[in-house]
Amino acid sequence: MNIRILIGLICFVFSSVASAEILVIVNKNNPISSMSKQEIIYIYTGRLMAFSNGEQAQPIDLYDGSQEKATFYKITTGKRLSQINSYWAKLSFTGRLKPPLALETQQAAVEYVVNNANAIAYIDEKYLTDDVKVVFRLDS
Amino acid sequence: MIRMNKFIKLAIATCIIFSHSSNLYARDKLDIKGFLTIAGYHSSNDNLGFQPHLSSSDVGYKGDDEYLTLSKVGLQLNYQLSTQFELVGQIVAQKEVVVDNSDRIKIATLNYSPTSSLLFRIGRFAPRTYLLSDSRLIGYSNNEVIPNHDFYAQLPLSYVNGADLTYNFGLSDGVGTASIFTGRTEVNINATDGNTLNSKFKNLLGFNLEYQTNNWLYRFGYTQSQLANSWEQVDTAIQFLTLVSQDYPSPLVSWTEGKEFVEAYRVKDKWFRYKTLAVQYDNSIWRVRAEIGDLAADSSNIPKNKNAYVSFSRTFDQFTPFLTLSAIKTSSPRTFSKPDEGLVQFLSAQSNQNLAFGLQQVFQFAETSAYNQKSISLGVRYDFALRQDIKLQFERKHVEAIGSNLWVVKDFSKIKDEYVSLIMFSYDRVF
């Protein structure tokens, strides 16, 4: 009986992890239809603040306590949040670059993308609406 | 002796107040953020005084626990004027040698980005002379407590008043960055005898090329500048060197290389040239970083140095241990013939000055002015909370008898090859 409960718990945990797919979204009017992981990394690390068509990209982040943020950076860059924060501390205090604007909720991120043609954000797929376009799915 | 003063109290208060905030203030147009480092070190040598860089306000000998030199708190304000224009200001409170209080403003620029790949700045900013140029003050952005002493201590340029242009471009699978900057700067340098040398630099021009692809980063930097002023000690020496270097009729023996020596001895209007090449591999777990530098100068008063470091770090969750090996070496200076003793005696009597003593000082300085040391450094960074870390670092340095110019020497008669140990710690955070 105990083993069944344990197996059930394991299945539940893994099924919730699998369902928590993270999507990278852009404004519906953005002509970009898909992006590579490398392009997303470059935009979110400030190396190249543009989409592949040359249009400026405005990346949107989530607040530090967000699990989606930790997962997004771990999967894309391989870095922990402390490493990402350290990386951005290096760049932002040079006065040359600003880190992505961090919003408190994923709904706010979706809303920001809807209202800003150059915005790009990442969200849990449960927050996806028809008003935005998915350009990348993170394999967790 | 532990010295707690208002600065440390202010830093601790700042830390407590903002301990739960990730950014001080962030809205669409205005962004205010800050950084804090509380750090200290203990050195093991009682004749060589450690200074983290040549513009340090304090020097640490054996028995001293230095806290204020490395501790700092900084605030930065970014204000977006429009989609293309931004104002940036940064002020840093730390104990440092300043020309005046405006030196505490490290950044004051108007940024103009006509496209996403171009950035033009005018105002005050950090010169991008080497890999960590414009982020070396930010403790939280580095694994080490202080930037590598053998590499970064000799050029303590903290700002440039001028303009710079940065261009980012995609190239193959990676991203290239080209930047160029120009302007003027001023810095007070601590000489090895404890005297302060005010140095104004003009015609500062630098460029950098950087390429990042996947886990690799390659960077080349070149900076050149002219010293706009002279130093009092050099001017004093030039006066009697000029006298000795004149052509004199027989039976006096003229100093054949005298005029050349005097010209090489001058510092005003002399050029500095600094080249660096850096490579970094970072796969988020392992990071290996190596950088080599080459400083050349037209004046014999400025040592010509080659320096390098290689650092390895490995991240285990919250812990990042690191190991760094580094060295700096001064090239042998060009040797000059010395003036004839009879000539010196004759001129001393004529001018009623002890020229022999003055010449001895000048030649002794020329022969002993060098940076020759190598170091091994071991430490660990512990990211115990988001945007906060603590670090502990142990460094062992071998400083050659002729080669202690990065240090302030208490007694030159006791100078010899030395091994110096340093223990450093820091608490860093950004808010």
pLDDT greater than 60 at residue B353: yes
Whether residues A93 and B121 touch (CB distance < 8 A) is answered with no
- pLDDT at residue B123 greater than cutoff 60: yes
> What length is written for chain A?
140
Instruction: List CB contacts of B430: < 8 A, sequence separation 6 or more.
Output: A85, A89, A93, B33, B34, B35, B36, B138, B140, B387
The residue in chain A having the minimum alpha-carbon distance to the alpha carbon of residue B320 is: A83
d(Cα B427, Cα B425) in Å, to the nearest integer? Answer: 7
Do the Cβ atoms of A85 and B389 come within 8 Å? no
User: CB count, 10 Å around CB of A103?
Assistant: 18
Q: Does A80 touch chain B (CB under 8 A)?
A: yes
Measure the CA–CA gap between A42 and A37, rounded to whole angstroms. Answer: 9
Contact B387 A85 (CB under 8 A): yes
With a cut of 60, say whether residue B54 has pLDDT above it: yes
Domain boundaries, chain B: 6-231+267-333+369-430
Q: Look up tokens 């990386």; give the residue.
A: A87
* Helix (H), strand (E), coil (C) string for A49-67: CECCCCCECEEEEECCCCH
Fold topology of A21-138: D-Maltodextrin-Binding Protein; domain 2 (3.40.190)
Q: What is the Cα–Cα distance from B221 to B341, expressed in whole angstroms?
A: 46
Closest residue on chain A to B33 (Cα): A93
Q: What is the ipTM of this complex?
A: 0.85
Cβ contact, residue pair B116, A50, below 8 Å:
yes
Q: Does A95 lie at the interface with B, CB-CB under 8 angstroms?
A: yes
The Cα B417–Cα A111 span in angstroms is 66
pLDDT of residue B224: 96
Q: Which residues of A touch B76 (CB under 8 A)?
A: 92-93, 95
Q: In this structure, which long-range contacts are made by residues B338-344, counting pairs with CB atoms below 8 Å and at least 24 apart in sequence?
A: B338/B255, B338/B363, B339/B244, B339/B245, B339/B255, B339/B258, B340/B252, B340/B253, B340/B254, B340/B255, B342/B252, B342/B253, B343/B244, B343/B248, B343/B252, B343/B253, B343/B254, B343/B255, B344/B244
Q: Angle at the Cα of B41 (from B36 to B47), degrees rounded to 5?
A: 140
Determine the pLDDT at residue B220: 97
Distance, in angstroms, between A2 CA and closest chain B CA? 32
Cβ neighbors of B40 (< 8 A, separation 6 or more) are B65, B66, B67, B70, B71, B424, B425, B426
- Mutation for testing the A interface, residue in B23, B116, B218 having most A CBs under 10 Å: B116
Q: Which residues of A touch B18 (CB under 8 A)?
A: none
Task: Compute the residue count for chain B.
Answer: 431
In angstroms, the CA B256 to CA B245 distance is: 8
* Band (A133; pLDDT cuts 50, 70, 90): very high
In this complex, which of A47, A56, A89 lies closest to B212 when CB atoms are compared?
A47
Cα R_g (chain B), whole angstroms: 24
CATH code that applies to domain B6-231+267-333+369-430: 2.40.160.10
Please say if the pLDDT value at position B25 is more than 90: no
| Residue B193 scores a pLDDT above 70 | yes
Written as one letter, the residue type at B311 is: S
Contact B284 A38 (CB under 8 A): no
Nearest CA in chain B to A36: B173
A135 sits in which H/E element: strand A132-138
* Tokens matching residue B226: 């002219």
The token duo for B228 is: 């706009």
Which residues on neighbouring strands pair with residue B86, listed in sequence order? Answer: B80, B111
**Average pLDDT over all residues of chain B:** 89
Average pLDDT over residues B254-272: 91
Q: Which of B107, B283, B387 sits opposite A78 (nearest CB)?
A: B283
pLDDT at A1: 47
Q: For chain A, what are the domain ranges?
A: 21-138
User: From the CA of B306, how many Å to the nearest CA of chain A?
Assistant: 26
A99-128 per-position pLDDT tens digit = 999 999 999 999 999 999 999 999 999 999
Mark yes or no for CB contact A38/B78 under 8 Å. Answer: no
**What CA–CA distances, in Å, run from A122 to A25, A75, A82, A105, B200?**
6, 12, 19, 11, 49
- Please state the rounded mean pLDDT for residues B7-35: 66
Of B35, B109, B170, the CB nearest to A89: B35
SS (H, E, C) chain B: CCCCCHHHHHHHHHHHHCCCCCCCEECCCEEEEEEEEEEEEEECCCCEEECCCCCECCCECCCCEECCCCCEEEEEEEEECCCCEEEEEEEEEECECCCCHHHHEEEEEEEECCCCCEEEEEEEECCCCCCCHHHCCCHHHCCCCCCCHHHHCCCCCCCEEEEEEEEEEEECCEEEEEEEEEEEEEEEEECCCCCEEEEEEEEEEEEEEEEEECCEEEEEEEEEEEECCCCHHHHHHHHHHHHHCCCCCCCCCCCCCHHHHHHHHCCCCCEEEEEEEEEEEECCCEEEEEEEEEEEECCCCCCCEEEEEEEEEECECCEEEEEEEEEEEECCCCCCCCCCHHHHHHHHHHHCCCHHHHHHHHHHHHHHCCEEEEEEEEEEEEEEECCEEEEEEEEEEEEEEEEECCCEECCHHHCCCEEEEEEEEEEEEEC
Choice among B12-26, B100-114, B156-170 with the minimum mean pLDDT? B12-26
Contact criterion met (CB < 8 Å) for B175 and A48: yes
B292-322 residue pLDDT tens: 999 999 998 888 999 999 999 999 999 999 9
Q: Please write the tens of the pLDDT for every residue from B354-393.
A: 888 988 888 888 878 889 999 999 999 999 998 999 999 9
Distances from the Cα of B374 to the Cα of B58, B193, B325, B330, B421, angstroms = 22, 21, 8, 12, 12
Closest CA to B184 of B172, B206, B197, B200: B200
- Residue B302 to residue B191: CA distance in whole angstroms: 11
pLDDT one-digit tens code per residue, B81-100? 998 999 999 999 988 777 78
Residue of A78, A94, A96 with shortest CB distance to B284: A78
| Number of Cβ within a 10 Å radius of residue B176 | 18
